[in-house]
Structures are given as structure tokens and as C-alpha cells.
């Protein structure tokens, strides 16, 4: 006799209830403490994110220049060249140094025009209602003063003896593939600054058409030499004349005979 689906389900043995192990008071306290710490960390992270979203930088002078690094060898010494696509400025505005022989650091002095209050007046000269006392102009002037306060006084024009405020970027650091000399001097007879700023012609036809004058791209190129001592070149080789074995034996025999004669002469005397 065939059973119906319901009867067949009822005929199956009942599943045994799974035993649940009760936690001890000590385990319960640990679980509660872990849960509290998790909630506290979550709240702290939420507060930090909220604070970060409210904080807005009013100025940022950091610059990260695109760079290309490549290696070669010269007279048995390793050389690394680093090229930066840099702002169009005179080379005196670029400060380079090697840190701990392993890192190349580039600091760029911000052009004075960028932090000059008169810049915003020149940008709005077409607006007759815009002048130095407008809200935007005064706000920008106040910000320029604030940035200058964070700068350092340095002498830029050594000939004229003029001192100006330097506003610099944070140092951009490039990890070197080997330990390098720190003097940045590689050139003819060790002279020179060790780096060159190249003005490469910008071949952007659209930019030329809009500005109606040519523009350049500035590339700061640095060469660094490994601090390993230069390996000495092996000698080019030499030639020497050797006597034949027969003549060499004759020379040895004659020298021995001469020694015997000298000994006999000394005995007779």
C-alpha cells in the first residue's frame, strides 16, 4: 500500500534537537567587551571621516612632477638619470639634493606671480567694476599674506642683494636604484651644477593658434653617479723575451762554474 506524501513525511523519524552549549559568565563578559570595542572603533572612524569632510585646505603648495628614470654605465660606473616635467622657471627656483645617498629630493620655489595680489586684478581687468577693494580682491590679498607668513626669507638676486619671500613646495622624493654621490656634480672635470633645465619646444598646434606665440615645456634633467669606486681597467698586455731552454741551461752551468772558480781563489788567498 502506497503512502501519501503527508503520511510519508510523518513516518520519518523526528530530528534530534541540537544541544547548545551555554557560555560561562567569563565568556559572556569577554564577548560583551569585544562588542563594545568594535562599536567604539566604528564610532571613532565615523567621527574622523566627518572631521575630514569638514576640513578644507585653503591652499596647497605641493607639486608632484611627472618623472622618468633610466640607467646606464660610463667608464665602469653606474649612472641614473631622472627627468622631471617641471614648471617653466629659471633653474635657481629648483632645489635638488640627495638624501642618505638613496633618495633624490626636489623642492620647487613657487613663482611670486602665483601669490601676488595684483594677479587677480590683471585677470579681471576687463571688468570695470572690479578693483582692489572688491570682496574677491581683498579675500585673495589676505590669503596671499597668509601664505607669505608661512614662507621663508631668502636672497634670490645675489647681484642686487635683494631678499624676497620664498614659498616652496613640499619635497618630491624619488627612490634611487643604488647609492649615489651626494654632490650632484657630474660634468666635464667635475664642474657644473649636475642638472640642466631644458626648454623643449611645445608642438601643440592648437595651443599655438590660441596664444599666437610659441611655448616651451621645461624638463629638469638630473644625472647621478654611483658612489662605488671606479674600477681600474686591466693592463692592455705586454711582451717579454725568453731564452730557449738549451741556452738557459748553458747560462746556469756557466754561472755555477764562475762561482766555483771564485771560491777556489778565495781559498788560495
Is residue 42 one of the residues assigned to a domain? no
pLDDT at 258: 60
Average pLDDT estimate for 243-268 = 62
Residues 80 and 174 in one domain: yes
pLDDT at 176: 93
In the chain, what is the straight-line distance between the N-terminal and C-terminal CA atoms, in Å? 148
Average pLDDT estimate for 139-147 = 88
Q: Please determine, for residue 191, whether its predicted confidence score (pLDDT) is greater than 70.
A: no
pLDDT at 60: 79
Distances in whole angstroms, Cα of residue 132 to Cα of each of 65, 122, 139, 141: 34, 11, 10, 9
Q: What percent of the chain has pLDDT over 70?
A: 61
Is residue 11 one of the residues assigned to a domain? no
How far apart are the C-alpha atoms of 203 and 60, rounded to whole Å?
30
Beta bridge partners of 73: 78
142 is in which domain, residue-wise? 110-167
Is residue 154 one of the residues assigned to a domain? yes
Is residue 122 one of the residues assigned to a domain? yes
Nearest to 224 by CA among 181, 172, 188: 181
Quickly state the pLDDT bin for 103 (edges 50, 70, 90). Answer: very high
Torsion sign (Cα): 140, 145, 148, 150: negative
- Contact present, 78 and 71 (Cβ < 8 Å): yes
Q: Please determine, for residue 260, whether its predicted confidence score (pLDDT) is greater than 90.
A: no
Residue ranges in the chain assigned as alpha helix (H): 5-11, 25-54, 118-123, 135-149, 205-211, 245-268
Q: What are phi and psi of 159, to 5 degrees?
A: -70, -45
Residue of higher predicted confidence among 160 and 149: 149
**Across 171-185, 213-227, 238-252, which has the greatest mean pLDDT?**
213-227
Contacts of 197 (CB under 8 A, 6+ apart): 86, 90, 91, 94, 218, 219, 220, 221
Residues 92 and 142 in one domain: no
Is residue 85 one of the residues assigned to a domain? yes
pLDDT at 54: 47
Is residue 41 one of the residues assigned to a domain? no
Among 28-32, 55-59, 88-92, 175-179, the least confident range: 55-59
Residues 201 and 225 in one domain: yes
Domain total in the chain: 2
Angle at 189 between CA 188 and CA 192, to 5 degrees: 60
What totals of helices (H) and strands (E) does the chain contain, helices first? 6, 9
How far apart are the C-alpha atoms of 231 and 83, rounded to whole Å?
27
Residues 145 and 175 in one domain: no
- Domain stops at, among 148, 167, 186: 167
Distances in whole angstroms, Cα of residue 212 to Cα of each of 125, 164, 191, 205, 268: 21, 33, 39, 10, 112
pLDDT at 171: 84
Among 119-128, 166-175, 224-233, the least confident range: 224-233
pLDDT at 158: 47
Residues 86 and 196 in one domain: yes
Quickly state the pLDDT bin for 122 (edges 50, 70, 90). Answer: very high
- Domain stops at, among 147, 167, 187: 167
Is residue 243 one of the residues assigned to a domain? no
Residue of higher predicted confidence among 79 and 148: 79
Please count the residues of the chain: 269
Quickly state the pLDDT bin for 211 (edges 50, 70, 90). Answer: confident
Q: Please determine, for residue 138, whether its predicted confidence score (pLDDT) is greater than 50.
A: yes
Quickly state the pLDDT bin for 33 (edges 50, 70, 90). Answer: confident
Residues 151 and 221 in one domain: no
pLDDT at 82: 94
Distances in whole angstroms, Cα of residue 163 to Cα of each of 159, 169, 212: 11, 19, 35
Amino acid at each position: 500500500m502506497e503512502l501519501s506524501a503527508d503520511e510519508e513525511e510523518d513516518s520519518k523519524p523526528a530530528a534530534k534537537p541540537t544541544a547548545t552549549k551555554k557560555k560561562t559568565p567569563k565568556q559572556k563578559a569577554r564577548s560583551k567587551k569585544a562588542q563594545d570595542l568594535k562599536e567604539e572603533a566604528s564610532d571613532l572612524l565615523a567621527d574622523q571621516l566627518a572631521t575630514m569632510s569638514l576640513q578644507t585646505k585653503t591652499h596647497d603648495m605641493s607639486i608632484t612632477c611627472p618623472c622618468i628614470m633610466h640607467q646606464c654605465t660610463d667608464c665602469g660606473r653606474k649612472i641614473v638619470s631622472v627627468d622631471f616635467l617641471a614648471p617653466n622657471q629659471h633653474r635657481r627656483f629648483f632645489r635638488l639634493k640627495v638624501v642618505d645617498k638613496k633618495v633624490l629630493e626636489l623642492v620647487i620655489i613657487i613663482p611670486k606671480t602665483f601669490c601676488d595680489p595684483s594677479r587677480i586684478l590683471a585677470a579681471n581687468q576687463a571688468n570695470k567694476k572690479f578693483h582692489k577693494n572688491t570682496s574677491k580682491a581683498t579675500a585673495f590679498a589676505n590669503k596671499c599674506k597668509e601664505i607669505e607668513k608661512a614662507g621663508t626669507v631668502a636672497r634670490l638676486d645675489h647681484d642686487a642683494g635683494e631678499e624676497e619671500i620664498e614659498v616652496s613646495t613640499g619635497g618630491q622624493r624619488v627612490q634611487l636604484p643604488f647609492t649615489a654621490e651626494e654632490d650632484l656634480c657630474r660634468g666635464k672635470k667635475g664642474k657644473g651644477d649636475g642638472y640642466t633645465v631644458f626648454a623643449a619646444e611645445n608642438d601643440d598646434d592648437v595651443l599655438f593658434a590660441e596664444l599666437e606665440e610659441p611655448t616651451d615645456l621645461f624638463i629638469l634633467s638630473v644625472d647621478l653617479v654611483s658612489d662605488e669606486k671606479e674600477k681600474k681597467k686591466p693592463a692592455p698586455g705586454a711582451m717579454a723575451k725568453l731564452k730557449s731552454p738549451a741556452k738557459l741551461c748553458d747560462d746556469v752551468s756557466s754561472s755555477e762554474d764562475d762561482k766555483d772558480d771564485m771560491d777556489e781563489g778565495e781559498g788560495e788567498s
